[in-house]
Structure 1
Amino acid sequence: MSEPRQALLLPERRRFAGQPLSKPVARALGRADRLPDGEAGERAQLLRWFELLPRGWPMAAITRERDASDAVLHSWLRADPAYVRPDMTGARVLAVGELGLSADEAKALSDALRPLFGDAGFPISAPHPARWYLALPVEARLPAFAAPEAVLGDDLFLHLPDGPEGRRWRALLNEAQVILHNHPVNQARFASGRLPANSLCFWGAGRLPDQVKGRLRRAHSQEAQLASLAALAAAAPPGADGDLLDLREARDWAAVETRLLECLASAEAAGVVLDFADGAIFRLRPGQRWRLLRRPLAQLA
């Protein structure tokens, strides 16, 4: 089957719970090809549209190249600023990355952490206020770190790495939390009602891929992971023509329908794919309008 002319990346269908389908879209989805469900989650959704060689998910190196253009120099680990709130049962992770830090605040906080991570052999830097990085020696042995989407909203202690290497990183995190908690930047943010960056989220370790291939030629997104993948794929051999549209932040189904109908009006025979983060995938093509006996889709999920 040829690649689609347009593909829409969408959040989980439950994000649109209770929102009705318009008659034209319900009819089009009822006649569409329902492809086999893919794996759920952000990583799996992006990997349906990008191929990394060698295989893996070294997102720290991928976003580092876009942020600082020096990813080839090291292996990398994201050490994103996070806000953790203690509660009766542990410490709940309420924000990762996007805390509203200014560039000056991020620099001051990361500078305070330089001695800790420098002595450990992992220099820290913050080329973007929401994305901090540790440069790793090639031979560094790391435990498995949980992705931010798995940690967010949950108890931090349930996601800390274990084993001998895990103990080392738990100790580094504990020391970093003490430094961040006592830093004047965080004290000022807390006093003014803003979220303090009182913890770190380690994830995305690895080296820059040798090659990134995109299934479609163009990707339209401001989100760091997708934009970084698209920037690397631009240097790879071009794939099929087409556009990947990032609508994962959408919560208004009517707005999604507007974009979908625009895409259908301009699509060629290859048509349009709707790729939901829960793994549901629909393919719509012009010839499906003759599937007259198929009932309109009653609801998304």
Structure 2
Amino acid sequence: MASATLLLPARTQLAGTLSPEAGRALARADREAGDAGEREQLRRQFQLSPDHWPVAALTRQLDAGDAADARWLRADPAFLAPDMMGARLLAHGPALGLTMEDVDALLPALRPLFGDAGFVLDAPEPARWYLRLSSDAPLPEFASPDDVVGDDLFGHLPQGDAGRRWRALFTEVQVTLHQHPWNARRVSEGKPAVNGLWFWGAGRLPDVVNTPFRQVRSRDDIVRALSLLAGVPDQVEGEVDALIDLRHLRSLQLFTDDALTPLLAELRRGELSRVVLDFQDGVRLVLEAGQRWRVWRRALARLDA
């Protein structure tokens, strides 16, 4: 019998009062605790060998299909804003609304900077730019842009001797883009300038990606890339274990009415063996039909109770 696993945001993102039916079902569920965070949440669903998290290689394979046999680094377009203390990353990637016209205008000015350093810069997708790294030289730690947005950049730049080269490239890119006339055009049209690149996600493709799911529904690029490498089919027939990505939800009512209530009905009818709710704060709730007999458990009023 099939199961359904829901990827959900942190419980605090779904604030409000649960309906009586949802409160009873969640109170009777088995509760498990795991590590919090987007990466840790996805690693519970996908197992990589070697065990690492090479975002650049994963999405490169999704975007261009040529990630094998190379090491990759994301160099995503970014909008940086100076302030009294330094500079902040205000937007990156998809938030900039770039088109291939933007890529064609900006990339030629940047390629010589990286070519001189032995790297190839390209952008098969306007929101995701890549560096193909030419050697296995040690790399510094690169921060995910989602951990940097709105914060001062200084504490998030690559550190140490291995980071010196990348800090220099980071500055050279800013100088080149600041002077580029295409950015003046974007600003005149009310669009954010592309005045920096954010380096992150370094690594090679894993040899193997495994997942128990035979159906994955997600708009997220990393989830789609992992599903592709795991061999999850585009189309399936019959009852299969499914992973459904609902991390975009911010409405408790939408979650309960459109997702949880129909799944509880399928549990009662014996159409599903179990439903797993995996929250980004690390909590997992496992629901099964037989739990309805746990009548001594008091219904939850809120998800984060």
Tell me, in whole angstroms, the C-alpha distance in 1 between the residues paired with 2:161 and 2:295.
62
Q: Which residue of 1 aligns with 2:252?
A: 253
Q: Which residue of 2 aligns with 1:215?
A: 212
User: Given that residues 56 and 203 in structure 2 are in contact (C-alpha distance below 8 angstroms), is that contact kept between their aligned partners in structure 1?
Assistant: yes
| Superposed counterparts of 1:16-35, under 5 Å | 16-17=14-15, 19-35=16-32
Match of 1:42 among 18, 38, 42: 38
Q: Which residue of 2 aligns with 1:290?
A: 293
Q: Which residue of 1 aligns with 2:7?
A: 9
Q: Which residue of 1 aligns with 2:130?
A: 133
Q: Which runs of 5+ in 1 are unaligned?
A: none
Tell me, in whole angstroms, the C-alpha distance in 1 between the residues paired with 2:241 and 2:135.
37
Displacement of 1:266: 2.6
> Aligned-residue CA RMSD in angstroms?
1.7
| Superposed counterparts of 1:145-294, under 5 Å | 145-234=142-231, 241-257=240-256, 258-267=258-267, 268=271, 270-294=273-297
Displacement of 1:4: 7.1
1:107-135 CA-partner distances (Å, limit 9, x unpaired): 32222210001110111000001100000
Q: Which runs of 5+ in 2 are unaligned?
A: 234-238
Q: Which residue of 2 aligns with 1:82?
A: 78
Displacement of 1:273: 0.7
Displacement of 1:243: 0.8
Q: Which residue of 2 aligns with 1:66?
A: 62
User: Given that residues 216 and 232 in structure 2 are in contact (C-alpha distance below 8 angstroms), is that contact kept between their aligned partners in structure 1?
Assistant: no
Tell me, in whole angstroms, the C-alpha distance in 1 between the residues paired with 2:4 and 2:287.
10
Match of 1:91 among 84, 87, 93: 87
Tell me, in whole angstroms, the C-alpha distance in 1 between the residues paired with 2:265 and 2:67.
41
Aligned length: 294
1:21-58 CA-partner distances (Å, limit 9, x unpaired): 111111110111111x2111111110010000111001
Tell me, in whole angstroms, the C-alpha distance in 1 between the residues paired with 2:203 and 2:228.
18
| Aligned residues with identical type, % of pairs | 52
User: Given that residues 145 and 203 in structure 1 are in contact (C-alpha distance below 8 angstroms), is that contact kept between their aligned partners in structure 2?
Assistant: yes
Matched to 1:265, the amino acid is A
Distance 1:61-1:183 versus aligned 2 partners, 3 A rule: same
Tell me, in whole angstroms, the C-alpha distance in 1 between the residues paired with 2:20 and 2:106.
53
Matched to 2:90, the amino acid is L
Displacement of 1:189: 1.3
Displacement of 1:62: 0.6
User: Given that residues 37 and 281 in structure 2 are in contact (C-alpha distance below 8 angstroms), is that contact kept between their aligned partners in structure 1?
Assistant: yes
Matched to 1:8, the amino acid is L
Q: Which residue of 1 aligns with 2:98?
A: 101
